[in-house]
Chain A
Amino acid sequence: MDSITALLEGFATAAQPEYLLYALLGVTLGTAVGVLPGIGPAMTVALLLPLTYTLDPTAALIIFAGIYYGGMYGGSTTSILLNTPGESASIVTALEGNKMAKAGRGAAALATAAIGSFVAGTIATLLLTLLAPTIADVAVQLGPADYVALMVVAFTTVAALLGSSPLRGFASLGLGLFIGLVGTDTLTGQQRYTLGVPTLADGIDVVVVAVGVFAVGEALYVASRMRHGPIEVVPVGGKWMTGEFWKRSWKPWLRGTFIGFPIGTVPAGGADVSTFLSYAAEKKLSKRPEEFGKGAIEGVAGPEAANNAAAAGVLVPLLTLGLPTTATAAVIVAAFQSYGIQPGPLLFTNNSAMVWALIASLYIGNVMLLVLNLPLVKIWVKVLQIPRPYLYAGILLFAALGTYAVNFVADDLIVLLVIGVVGFFMRRHGYPVAPLVVGLILGPMAEEQLRRTLQISEGDPGALVASPFAAVTYGVLIVVTVAAVVVRVRRKKADALV
């Protein structure tokens, strides 16, 4: 029951007017970047990092968490109302939601997405509250070899499950790990891969990489194949909430929540996978499967709930183990580190007040997001219509500003440009960018744990699998990988037969 007292204290902190304002700022920014194509929460958090050094860590993290949750809400508005959906996590929503909007039922689609996100976000945050302290207690006993095992799992799932090609996922991960190597080795003080350039001696800043690969890479990519002509937004029509609306939505919301949360918690591909699973489940359970593909409300309610529950689930390994499993989570880990705080099992003992204020702000943020996204949806429709030349010019300007503000040296902008160009080619050739960011941030942590393991064992690699936890983890990973390969091969064979 300690955690309930702690949570109440967290609410007392988060409910102070100052922190409420930061939460509001975070969720508003998050919704805006979720609505706008071309920028996502990962990049926004990265951009704000240098600007928030003057704030206290609790305030900054409340803003970042708000952006993280807000991005999930905003994305669904775009996929329902814009004629040209993108962004993997909301593709499924676009499938049914877009059809609903075009059939004049946009209001109901927006409502089920927003309320579903709220229900799922709140239940998932509750589960996070209950689970996180317990997991942290167990995680305290994990040794370096166990962390190596967990990181190998995170690397594998992030690289293999995101994007269409696991091979390119691993290449992207490798590039991120390489960028993470550049700089001064923390254990021996050796310079590595700095080419003797002083700018590189401190390593390449996370902000520069994240902003380069997301903002500059995306802007160049859009410029190369820009969609011209007016931005077509489907007008919001129909009734918002009817009796039938509630009747058809509440079960998919709950099912989505319980599909999404575990998938987010176990590093298994995050939001994308959970939305697909939820969609498949709803289609199977529906009494009206023929409506799917033509605008079935269950196909919006379930995946949207799953999406948000997964987002909250991702916070479990993030807060209790320090393991980021998505690009945004990785940047948030970098944010913790910039304040000298290492997320992980000790967070709940060493920075207890801060963590609980953060968790409390998630509950508050969810309520704010419901208000922002339902009654105020018209504002976001306006934001969605910003002419693209100005939008991308603005993204480039703030990308350059955020990068420059890290150290106030123009040399960082050269690194930004180079990484931006790499990000551009990665997009052209189907290399997912998230593994790069996760590799960059998790890489140095993995190296440290690996070296610590081998130092204790005096170089005996057997130590990596000696602990039961690590052995089981690798075992599960191997089984899952083999199963995934088998499924893939079978599906290919089935496709070949058709």
Chain B
Amino acid sequence: MIAEKVEEYAFGGLVAAVGVFTLVDASAIAVRDDNAVGPRAFPYLVGAMLVLTGIATIVATARGKLGRAEESEDVDESVRTDWVTVGKLVAVLVAHLVLIDVAGWPVAAALLFFGAAWALGATWWRALVVAVVLALVVQVVFASGLGLSLPAGIFEGVPLLDG
């Protein structure tokens, strides 16, 4: 409960902070002439809105009105937050974006699928097989069918995989 409240304050604070940034940075936007409605006016409105809603959420939280977590078919509201799994997924996504340029899309994609499925509880070898097959199939479809080629990386020059 307390942790939830801290998070709620933090998100409200973030919204307000984005608003402050919007307002401060708006004054740095160069205005060419003295026309009243340049590129600054709308950002001021948006910034004010963010600051107001951010502060209002913080006040609401202090008065005990917390946001209601969204319902979803696959979400069990009775269990505690599993931060480890969330962390694993973020890590896998980071690895994916780093690997694309280094090892190529097929490798990065297979790792993303395998890592995510495994983190979420799939049997490791089955997840690995599906990941490799899926990554290769998508690579071939892109290279041959759609005319958009994904970086082949380590498969450079391999027919079918390198578009």
**A residues whose Cβ falls under 8 Å from a Cβ of B:** 37-38, 50-51, 54, 78, 82, 84-88, 164-165, 167-168, 170-171, 173-175, 177-178, 181, 185, 187-188, 190, 192-193, 216, 218-228, 387-390, 392-394, 396-397, 400-401, 404-405, 408, 410, 413-414, 416-417, 420-421, 424-431, 443, 446-447, 450-451, 454-455, 458-459
Contacts and interface: CB of A to CB of B under 8 A. Distances in A.
A431 B67 CA distance: 7
B15 A400 contact: no
Residue in B11, B72, B86, B105 with the greatest tally of chain A CB atoms within 10 Å:
B72
Nearest to A216: B93
B74 A410 contact: no
Interface string B39-65: 101110011011001101100100000
A396 B116 contact: yes
Nearest to B110: A397
Nearest to B71: A86
Contacts of A78: 73
A425 B70 CA distance: 10
Shortest 4 CB-CB contacts between residues of A and residues of B: A430-B67, A459-B36, A37-B73, A389-B120
B95 to A, nearest CB: 11
Contacts of B105: 404
Contact of B37 (A165, A404, A450): A450
B57 A400 contact: no
Interface in B53-111: 53-54, 56-57, 60, 66-77, 79-83, 85-86, 88-90, 92-94, 96-98, 100-101, 105, 109
B30 A171 contact: no
A457 B20 CA distance: 30
A216 B79 CA distance: 21
B22 A181 contact: yes
Contact of B79 (A225, A393, A417, A425): A225
A175 B50 contact: yes
B70 A430 contact: yes
Interface string B12-51: 1001001100100110011010011111011100110110
Nearest to B100: A410
28 contacts: A38-B73, A38-B74, A82-B73, A86-B71, A87-B72, A88-B71, A165-B68, A167-B57, A168-B67, A170-B53, A171-B15, A193-B43, A225-B77, A225-B80, A225-B81, A226-B79, A389-B119, A389-B120, A390-B122, A393-B114, A410-B100, A413-B93, A417-B94, A426-B11, A450-B42, A451-B42, A455-B35, A458-B36
Contacts of A431: 11, 67
B146 interface: yes
Given A178-B18, A188-B39, A393-B117, A227 B76 contact: yes
Contacts of A171: 12, 15, 50, 53-54, 57
Given A389-B121, A393-B122, A427 B70 contact: yes
Contact of B122 (A190, A387, A459): A387
Tell me the dominant secondary structure on chain A's binding face: helix
Contacts of A392: 116-117, 120
B7 interface: yes
Nearest to B21: A193
Given A167-B57, A430-B67, A86 B73 contact: yes
Contacts of B148: 50-51, 405, 408
Given A78-B73, A187-B39, A430-B66, 20 more contacts: A51-B146, A170-B49, A175-B50, A178-B47, A222-B72, A223-B82, A226-B85, A226-B121, A389-B117, A393-B114, A396-B113, A397-B109, A401-B109, A401-B138, A404-B105, A408-B150, A408-B151, A410-B101, A428-B69, A459-B36
Contact of B7 (A87, A188, A400, A429): A429
B83 A224 contact: yes
Contacts of A178: 18, 22, 46-47, 50
A188 B42 CA distance: 13
A185 B43 CA distance: 11
A417 B97 contact: yes
Interface of B: 7-8, 11-12, 15, 18-19, 22, 25-26, 29-30, 32, 35-39, 41-43, 46-47, 49-50, 53-54, 56-57, 60, 66-77, 79-83, 85-86, 88-90, 92-94, 96-98, 100-101, 105, 109, 112-114, 116-122, 127, 130-131, 134-135, 138, 146-148, 150-151
Nearest to B76: A227
A97 to B, nearest CB: 14
A175 B105 CA distance: 32
Contacts of A187: 39
B118 to A, nearest CB: 8
Contact of B60 (A167, A221, A404, A428): A167
A388 B116 CA distance: 11
B49 A181 contact: no
B11 A425 contact: yes
A223 B86 CA distance: 6
Contacts of B37: 450-451, 454-455, 459
Nearest to B36: A459
Give the residue among A171, A177, A192 with the most B Cβ atoms within 10 A. A171
A223 B117 CA distance: 10
A305 B74 CA distance: 26
Contacts of B113: 393-394, 396-397
A283 B42 CA distance: 46
Contacts of A181: 22, 42-43, 46
A227 B75 contact: yes
A167 B93 contact: no
A413 B89 contact: no
A404 B138 CA distance: 13
